[in-house]
Amino acid sequence: MFKSSDFSPKVRRRRAGLLCALWLAVGSALAAPQAEFGDKFLMMGTGPVGGAFRPIGESVCEAINEDRRASLVRCVPVGTAGSIFNLYAVANGSIQLGVAQEDLVSKLYADHKQALGRSLRVVALLHDSPIAVMVHRDSGITELGQIAGKNFNLGNPGSGMFTITAALLRALDLRKEDFASAANLPTSEFERAFCDRKVDAVVEAVAHPSALFEKLRACGGVFIDIPAPVQAKMQAANKLLSPMSIAANTYAVQDKAVTTLGMRNVLFTNAAVDEESIFRLTTTLKRQYDDLKGSQVLLSSMVRMEQTDAASLPAPLHPGALRALQGISRGAR
């Protein structure tokens, strides 16, 4: 039985205070595991529609999110213009993760005129991207030197494609004015232009086989080699480019390998992103490496990064990623 004194203002205040304290204690206990570190919500810059970075970024985020109940880290893929956009967005803190060509990460990190670039940190190696040059079979182009005077796509400024195309043209000693027309179409648009014969030649660096190049081949596209002298000039200007090829029979009715060169692609972050967050994320990727590599053909060349790879990376490893590679849990150092 309750007594009338149980409902006195003094008792009610005391009980309300105790109840409030109890709720605070329970709330603190529930929140404690999630309050151990920051940056639990990570936005990842991927790439444009039709490009390889977007589905790759989506697969990486999916792998991270499968473990989110344990890691407390959630990844959200964001469509972007590509490598260059991702680099600056991560460097200035607008997003926390990005995918980019290794050479572009290196260039921004080493550029002392761009102080923000010094904040870039590598999280993981992703896939290889051979540079593919494709021409329309009705264009009359049979070798790379014949692209001058044709309709050419330079790529979307702000994308890795644009920087690759620019490097190729420098090695060929060609300028924009040397073409009948020079477009700046992103990946999502140059497919239609190529198939409508408004563009004779396109350049893109992607993992193969690529759905994009399947479509371009279906409307008359043919791969051409990047000759050894041109490769040598490109490598002299960019040490992170290495010889690669598109193997014979990668595509239907492709009976010989395509000689080219290309680069690795990396997942990167900002040095200011919480170490524990990146540790948990990298630990998840390390554990799910085999599944992630087999999740789609674009990631078939994904490399299992080891601590010994640190010296060859375009920017330092994030401390959280280094801990994950060393297998050092929090507080164990």
Query: pLDDT tens digits, residue range 170-199?
Result: 999 999 999 999 999 988 788 999 999 999
Pairing of strands 221-224, 74-78: unpaired
Report pTM.
Answer: 0.79
Question: In this structure, what are the phi and psi dihedrals at residue 321, rounded to the nearest 5 degrees?
Answer: -70, -40
Which domains, from first to last, does the chain contain? 37-128+264-326 (3.40.190.10), 129-263 (3.40.190.10)
Residue 6's pLDDT band (cuts 50, 70, 90): very low
What residues contact residue 115 under an 8 Å CB cut-off, 6+ apart?
none
Q: What is the mean pLDDT of residues 128-157?
A: 95
Q: What is the pLDDT of residue 52?
A: 85
What lies within 8 Å, CB to CB, of 38 at 6+ separation is: 274, 277
Query: For residues 32 and 270, is the Cβ–Cβ distance under 8 A?
Result: no
Beta bridge partners of 218: none
pLDDT of residue 259: 97
| Average of per-residue pLDDT across 220-226 | 97
What is the model's pLDDT at position 11? 44
pLDDT band at 298 (very low <50, low <70, confident <90, very high): confident
- What mean pLDDT is predicted for residues 138-149? 96
% of the chain beyond a pLDDT of 90: 72
Residues sharing a CB contact under 8 Å with residue 318, sequence separation 6 or more, in sequence order? 121, 122, 123, 269, 271, 273, 275, 278, 282
Please check the confidence at residue 32 and state whether its pLDDT lies above 60.
Answer: no
> For residue range 72-119, what is the model confidence (pLDDT) as tens digits?
999 999 999 899 999 999 999 999 999 999 999 999 999 988 899 999
Torsion sign across C-alpha atoms 214, 215, 216, 222: positive
Residue 330 pLDDT class (50, 70, 90 cuts): low
